[in-house]
Amino acid sequence: MAHSRIVGGSTAKRVIACPGSVALVQKAPPQPSSKYADEGTMLHGIMALILEHNEPAPSFLGAESNGQKMTLELLEEKVLPALAALDVIDPEQQMEYAVEQTVSFGDFLPDVFGSADLIGRLGDRAIILDWKFGSGVTVEAEDNPQGMFYTAAAMRTPGLEWVFDGAKDIEIIIVQPPSIRRWVTSFDRIRQFERELAFAVRRALQPDAPLATGEHCRFCPARPLCPEMTGAADRALQKAVKDIDASQLGALLSRADLLEGWISDLRGLAMQVLESGNPVPGFKLVAKRATRKWTDEDVAATALVGLGVDPYEQSVLSVAQAEKKLKALKKPLPTELVTAVSSGNTMAPESDPRPAVLQIGQQLTAALSKIV
């Protein structure tokens, strides 16, 4: 999947909010890939092959790409639900579509381009569809900057006129198996987004492009180098916790989430530098604490039996382990066998869907104080 060095679909939100991040990212060391990113790349490639060549999905079992292997679990939990989503979106199989299309803004924004997963036309509606195979973060379709980026670029890409000519509206669809999230929008909304993007790109190319912290920092590879983050860290170090007013806690906790991510990225960058053989003043690589292991488990088990010790322990499967085995057998987990017990309380923002914990002790104290 090709991406512009300036801005692409996945970075559009960040660049609009923080134009200065473009130059910082280009100075940051290359980020190592992850298992999840490589797995997602493999699944995107398989989906393209299935749709382009009408290949049966099971034929890709065992296929390997980027060090990842197509397993039965990935087939059942990701690929087949993604294909089923297309049947929901286009039940009559009337949609014309193209997959893995490189889209660009041409002369309007030179060197700005990206790769759209699926672009199609269904009746009088243009369709922009994005596969999301990660499970950790829910991706919404409404006002989705990545979907709007691909739409705006596709509207300016020669050869894709058939998608938009005569269309009345545009639908951006996020398929994050097993969920489908959809948002119908107008050409005017996409043009408004394009103007916002163009303004941000032009600011990003200026030497004094502004920086700003926020939710968009979460996946920014330049976070360890960002002066906005280092400045926030310096200010936090100078602030004594005992001097913080309770009314400030909410705002400061929001900043703390950003700083925790920055600290994690900073440590990761330092490890990357040290492991490449370069120095980090004041720090060095050392071996982790050693843990003892059997040189040969079978030989150890035989020896322990001879010493009068049973080398094996048996325990009931965990709920998750049992659920996985039952799923392979196409059987549900009996709900009456399971209960959910919280391990304690944690803190969450007001927007969290979980209900607040009822602090009975505090409420009783308050009630009694009114009676006395």
Tens of pLDDT, residue by residue, the chain (372 residues):
556 788 999 999 999 999 999 988 888 777 777 788 899 999 999 999 999 998 899 999 999 988 899 999 999 999 999 999 999 999 999 999 999 999 999 999 999 999 999 999 999 999 999 999 987 788 999 999 999 999 999 999 999 999 999 999 999 999 999 999 999 999 999 999 999 999 999 999 998 898 888 888 888 887 877 777 766 555 655 555 556 666 666 666 666 666 677 677 777 777 777 777 888 888 888 777 778 888 888 888 898 888 888 888 878 888 888 888 888 888 888 888 888 877 766 666 677 777 776 665 555 555 555 554
Which residue do the tokens 């890939």 mark? 33
Q: Which stretch of DSSP H or E encloses residue 365?
A: helix 360-371
Which is nearest to 204 in space by CA: 29, 32, 4?
Answer: 4
pLDDT at residue 270, rounded to an integer: 76
Strands lying side by side in the sheet with 169-176: 96-104, 113-122, 125-131, 169-176, 179-185
- Beta bridge partner(s), residue 128: 119, 172
pLDDT at residue 234, rounded to an integer: 57
CB 6 within 8 A of CB 201: yes
Query: Phi-psi region for residue 191, left (φ > 0), alpha (ψ -120 to 50) or beta?
Result: alpha
Helix, strand, or coil here: 19? coil
pLDDT at residue 5, rounded to an integer: 84
pLDDT at residue 245, rounded to an integer: 65
Q: How many CA atoms lie within 13 A of 6 on its CB side?
A: 19
Which is nearest to 154 in space by CA: 105, 197, 195?
Answer: 105
Which is nearest to 18 in space by CA: 196, 232, 202, 211?
Answer: 211
CB atoms within 10 A of CB 287: 5
Cα–Cα distance between 192 and 217 in angstroms, integer?
23
pLDDT at residue 266, rounded to an integer: 73
Q: Which residues contact 224 (CB under 8 A, 6 or more apart)?
A: 28, 262, 265, 266, 268, 269
pLDDT at residue 347, rounded to an integer: 61
Q: How many CA atoms lie within 13 A of 218 on its CB side?
A: 7
Strands 179-185 and 169-176 turn out to be antiparallel
Q: How far is CA 61 from the centre of its chain?
A: 25
CB 319 within 8 A of CB 327: no
Q: What is the largest CA-CA distance in the chain?
A: 83
Structure tokens at 34: 């992850």
129, with CB counted inside 10 A (0-12, 13-18, 19+), is: buried
pLDDT at residue 71, rounded to an integer: 93
Cα–Cα distance between 139 and 180 in angstroms, integer?
10
SS3 for 89-104 is HCCCCCCEEEEEEEEE
Complete domains list, the chain, with CATH: 9-204 (3.90.320), 222-241+249-275 (no CATH)
pLDDT at residue 366, rounded to an integer: 54
Alpha-helix residue ranges (DSSP H) falling in 211-332: 227-238, 249-275, 297-306, 319-328
CB atoms within 10 A of CB 42: 21
Structure tokens at 312: 């094996």
Structure tokens at 277: 């053989």
Q: How far is CA 28 from the centre of its chain?
A: 20
Rg (CA), the chain: 26
Cα–Cα distance between 104 and 120 in angstroms, integer?
17
Instruction: Give CA torsion, residues 87, 88, 90, 93, to 10 deg.
Output: 30
**Dihedral sign, Cα of residue 263, residue 268, residue 272, residue 277:** positive
pTM, to two decimals: 0.69
